[in-house]
Amino acid sequence: MSILCTICLRGGSKGVPGKNSRHLNGKPLMDYTIEQAIECGLFENIVVSTDSETIAENARRLGIDVWFTRPAELSTDKAAKVPVIIHALHESEKYYKKTYSVVMDLDGTSPLRKVSDIENSLKQFQKSGANNLVTVCKSRKNPYFNMIEKRNDRYKVVIDSDTPINRRQDAPEVYEMNASIYIWKRHCLLEENRIINTDTDCYIMPEDRSVDIDTEADFNYVEYLMAKNKD
């Protein structure tokens, strides 16, 4: 099985400006993901997709060959994730002159993920036979119980059930994607062009390894956790 690892690192960020290059516990945030990808030794190639020369140079410092610049239309805050991954796949297949069977994307804003999460999610993906897999954690909120939406100027539970659910324990168990690891069979990525498709499996990660840095508060929280774990 030929696996391509994509790591998508945009130069800009509204929530935390320059977050991928910003130092977290002594090194750039992006280093955690690149180092994990290298350490696990599972990938035929690792590609970093970025519009930033600063990020590209830092990736090269860690031993990653960065030979293309992400197009401007895929580098805005409105650009979706999947087209960026597909672009990186096509660029890699042209550059390395090969066709991959599997693509795994590691999100650069998930520094608390462990190498074992990468290894075990891939094992589960292979064993399940699913077309793709995403990592998740148990959700704190539940659309059957304590999540509401506005309908006709009033608010209702997101998912109505035939029998009212008045205790969290009675609601179906739900999960939230933790923006850490995404895996696709190549044909699924190109044909479905989306994260959740008709044949998706999930790998469950604990909440304490599922922090996705999207805001300044997230950054500070992860910094606190890392400092605490050092003690």
What is the residue-averaged pLDDT of the chain?
Answer: 94
Whether 73 and 94 share a structural domain: yes
- Residue 200's contacts (CB-CB under 8 Å, 6 or more residues apart) are 130, 131, 132, 133, 134
Whether 77 and 164 share a structural domain: no
Over residues 13-23, mean pLDDT? 87
Residue for token pair 């790591």: 7
Over residues 3-14, mean pLDDT? 91
Q: Are 209 and 113 in contact (CB under 8 A)?
A: yes
Asked whether the predicted pLDDT for residue 15 surpasses 80, the reply is: no
For position 119, which CATH number holds? 3.90.550.10
Over residues 194-218, mean pLDDT? 95
Q: What's the pLDDT at 27? A: 96
Q: What's the pLDDT at 231? A: 59
pLDDT digits over 79-138, tens only? 899 999 999 999 999 999 999 999 999 999 999 999 999 999 999 999 999 999 999 999
157: nearest Cα among 167, 168, 145? 145
Nearest-angstrom CA–CA distance, 10 and 196: 22
pLDDT digits over 137-192, tens only? 999 888 888 889 999 999 988 998 888 888 888 888 999 999 999 999 999 999 99
Whether 150 and 78 share a structural domain: no
Whether 45 and 107 share a structural domain: yes
Whether 114 and 26 share a structural domain: yes
Range of the domain at 169: 140-173
Over residues 69-88, mean pLDDT? 93
Nearest-angstrom CA–CA distance, 200 and 164: 29
Q: What's the pLDDT at 160? A: 85
Structural domain total, the chain: 2
Q: What's the pLDDT at 170? A: 84
Whether 119 and 56 share a structural domain: yes
Nearest-angstrom CA–CA distance, 19 and 108: 10
Whether 53 and 159 share a structural domain: no
Q: Are 124 and 200 in contact (CB under 8 A)?
A: no
Whether 47 and 11 share a structural domain: yes
Whether 91 and 21 share a structural domain: yes
Whether 76 and 116 share a structural domain: yes
Whether 89 and 161 share a structural domain: no
Whether 150 and 85 share a structural domain: no
